[in-house]
Amino acid sequence: MSPAHAATPAALPEPTREQARRWRRYLADEIAEGQIYRDIAARKDGVERDILLGLAEAERRHEQHWRALLGEHAENPPRPSVHRILLRWLARIFGSVFVLALAQRAESDTPYAKDQDAPEGMVADEAIHEEVVRGLAARGREQLAGNFRAAVFGMNDGLVSNLALVMGIGATGVASSVVLFTGVAGLLAGALSMAAGEYVSVRSQRELLEASSPTQVTLEAAQHLDLDHNELKLVYLARGMTPEDAEHRALERLGYLTCDCNPQFSARPDGSQGPVDHSGSFAEIGSAWSASLSSFAFFASGALIPILPYIFGMSGLWALGLAAAMVGVALLFTGGVVGLLSGSSPLARGLRQLAIGYGAAAVTYVLGLLFGANLG
């Protein structure tokens, strides 16, 4: 135990009622956080498991500090905060990046920095813990980045665009069947547009990669070039080599040199032959068809929610109100998940998504009212 954490009941006065209450809450949270890290570690292996167990051990030291200060008041500590209870429950069920992202926020919200009873060493520990958890969570965020982006933004686009469409058409006072058919048309049009756009985007990336990668043509053509009037050196200059390296590579390809001293601009730095394998880069980009179908599915799932009341026979303001409420819940969820994974406040991100979605819907609703009034 470090000097900053050392404390003995004999060296300290009896805590006041307020101190005892506050320290008991700290004790409960430290116990819960240590258990959270152990629960996540149980689902990991290797270095990640060791890191999580190290965090749990640090939380145990903090726990012992508050026990020492509390003395007999440490018996039967209260329940931890709701945040820690939720974290512990999620850790036991999932043990995923979502829990680590929540744990990162918990570490960043430590009250120790403003509490003179918390030693500086413990305050520093909590700051380091946040960075450790941030690093662990970053690994999961990188793995989720591509697919998660497509899922969240596809669904969010479907929610906002079709809610705005339904609100605008519904405000004109047309029959509920017209609103339903318009919503279905908006769902299909938007989903197909998203799918087509994603297909073209991914396909173009793959084609650009193929067009930009060096080929092995220099190996095949080198033996037929005129040494005094060849353009082989220009190939390597165009790839970014210095004039000296380009000349050296040209002479090597022509057979006048046998070494390969600067191979990083070669399609095959190891000197192997055959077609260049882009599978690694293509795996990062993904399949055009897979991305297209995913975009279609996620947009359609979001766009379906605003028309559900009409599918089940509702009409008028009740249908519009229920559609807006259902979309609002979905927007809070998608915004909260984005905030959670980005390490920011899930509530703040959820409310931001909600404000954007409702803002767009409100504009189209007002336009629909104006258009309906002019028709009348």
Span 137-146, mean pLDDT?
Answer: 61
- Determine the pLDDT at residue 310: 92
Region of 46 on the Ramachandran plot (φ > 0 left; ψ -120 to 50 alpha; else beta): left
Closest CA to 104 of 40, 167, 42, 46: 40
Higher per-residue pLDDT: 296 or 96: 296
Quote the pLDDT of residue 294. 81
Using CB atoms within 10 Å of the CB of residue 153, give its burial: 0 to 12 exposed, 13 to 18 middle, 19+ buried. Answer: middle
Task: Give the model's pLDDT for residue 339.
Answer: 74
Contact 326, 310 (CB under 8 A): no
CA atoms within 13 A on the CB side of 31: 18
Cβ pair 368, 171 in contact under 8 A: yes
Distance CA 249, CA 238 (A): 13
pLDDT at 90 (0 to 100)? 64
Q: Regarding predicted confidence, which is higher, 143 or 26?
A: 26
Report, as an integer, the average pLDDT of 296-307. Answer: 92
Average pLDDT in the 261-270 region?
48
Between 264 and 303, whose confidence is greater? 303
User: What's the average model confidence in pLDDT over 336-358?
Assistant: 80
Structure confidence at residue 370 as a pLDDT band (50, 70, 90): confident
7 band by pLDDT with thresholds 50, 70 and 90? very low
Mean pLDDT of 205-230: 52
Residues 6+ positions from 209 with CB-CB distance below 8 Å:
278, 281, 282, 285
Identify the top-confidence range among 131-135, 139-143, 193-197.
Answer: 193-197
- Check residue 92 and give its pLDDT: 65
Quick check: pTM over 0.95? Answer: no
| Confidence (pLDDT) at 295 | 82
pLDDT number for residue 140: 63
Q: What is the mean pLDDT of the chain?
A: 75
Name the residue among 147, 165, 167 with its Cα closest to residue 157: 165
